[in-house]
Amino acid sequence: MRRLLLLASAMIFFDVAFFAAIAPLLPTYVDELGLSKAQAGILSASYAAGTLIASLPAGFVASRVGPRRTVIVGLLILGCSSLVFGLVNEIYLLDGARFTQGIAGALIWSGALTWLITASPEESRGSVIGTALGTAVAGALLGPALGAAAATIGTGPVFGSVLVVAVFLAICASRLPEARSPERQTLREVRETMLSKPIRDAAVFVAVPSVMFGAIEVLVPLRIDALGGGHGVIAGGFIAGAALEAVLAPIAGRYSDRVGRRNPYVLGLSICALAMIAIALAQTLGTVLAALIMTSLGAGLCFAPALTLISDIAESSSLHQGFAAGLSNMAWASGQVIGGIGGGVVASLTGNAIPSVSIAVLLVLTVVYAFRTMEPTATPRPAAG
């Protein structure tokens, strides 16, 4: 289990690092290619759009052929599409390459999470998912630094190196056994479970904070740039926030195993709402950076419980964990797309305040709904056998 956790964490770390590398590059692309905030939002959200479309198919693949083959295919696609992203300089090709990276990310995440969940005891699932999320956020630490490096030395060498690392990780994955034989469920069984209220609620609890992050990945870098901060300041802000989230995610996962998913989730979402109000009101570089770090504090508390809740419901309803991982990806990606594109478009028309306040209101409404629908304490699990 330890080797699997290490490998799965490495794959997730790698994927997230190059997903997060876009933030310091956005001002460069805006200046060099003449992009509007809306176009910058589309570029930022293209990755999530690819993940959104591929999430459930990736879950299907993981359930039918196994998570190991799923992650290997995802790694190879990520390597090739990242090489293309590093070499082209036309916006439609950049969008297309980043979209393909998102498809690869769906395969990697669905395969890695399915592999981990099926190999781990149910009572420690929150801890395992929290650890994986912690390494994902650690990848977000490296991402802005990679983006800043690419802005300085060129995107070709930085993104071209992805292919080498992807092949290495694929070879490592091929040498580990599957945790469990692939399972087959009818599409009718899957559809009925996916449409149930508990699963829909759990997906909403993942999607809502993802809307926030989709928006701030566009709004905050451009706001920092407008206030005189450069690539290094943007990278530093995202790195500091990601460091905090990386520490908190495993702790929140373990805590939710003991006390239930609701309390850490609503606390994290409440902090995020306050941070979005701060972003709306910010007039100085320091305030924007402080608010950015606050969003990471909230995310570190809420994402692990929300993702684990989907896994809990899948287990209780006999839904294959591959589909649960696919649903988690779809919920995250839909929020990223809505926040990235919607936030960019609205900000282009009205400025940053309206999308920031709107997201804060959405977060508060979700806190109220979570109090009404989430179990307040951990659900006792029947003993094995």
Q: Average pLDDT for residues 53-76, to the nearest whole number?
A: 89
Which carries the bigger pLDDT value, residue 346 or residue 185?
A: 346
Question: Who's near 4: CB < 8 A, 6+ residues apart?
Answer: 115, 116, 119, 176, 179
User: Per-residue pLDDT tens for 359-375?
Assistant: 999 999 999 999 888 87
pLDDT score of 209: 92
Mean pLDDT of 195-204: 87
Measuring CA to CA, how many Å separate 108 from each of 196, 230, 351, 372?
26, 32, 36, 34
Q: Is the pLDDT of residue 13 over 80?
A: yes
Cα–Cα distances in angstroms (integers) from residue 3 to residues 76, 177, 370, in the given order: 21, 11, 36
Q: Is the pLDDT of residue 274 over 90?
A: yes
325/81 Cα distance (integer angstroms): 23
- Domain covering 2-178+187-373: architecture: Up-down Bundle (1.20)
Torsion, Cα of 43, 45, 50, 56 (10° steps): 180
CA angle, corner 326, sides to 320 and 329, nearest 5? 145
249 touches 303 (CB < 8 A): yes
Query: What is the Cα–Cα distance from 300 to 312, expressed in whole angstroms?
Result: 19
Residue 70: pLDDT band (50, 70, 90) is very high
Q: Model confidence over 281-322: pLDDT tens digits? A: 888 999 999 999 999 899 889 888 888 888 888 877 777 777
Give yes or no for residue 187 having a pLDDT over 70. no
Q: Domain spans of the chain?
A: 2-178+187-373
Q: What is the pLDDT of residue 383?
A: 36
For the chain, what is the largest distance between any 2 Cα atoms, rounded to a whole number of angstroms? 63
Residue type, 248: L
- What is the pTM for the complete model shown? 0.71
Mean pLDDT of the chain: 84
Question: Which tokens hold the place of 142?
Answer: 């490296």
Q: How confident is the model at residue 235 (pLDDT cuts 50, 70, 90)?
A: confident
**381 pLDDT above the threshold of 50:** no
**Mean predicted confidence (pLDDT) in 193-214:** 88
- Which pair of tokens denotes residue 247? 């520490």
Q: For residue 137, is pLDDT > 80?
A: no
Look at residue 228 and tell me whether its pLDDT is greater than 70: yes
Instruction: Select the more confidently predicted residue: 45 or 190.
Output: 45
81-95, 134-148, 239-253: which is most confident: 81-95
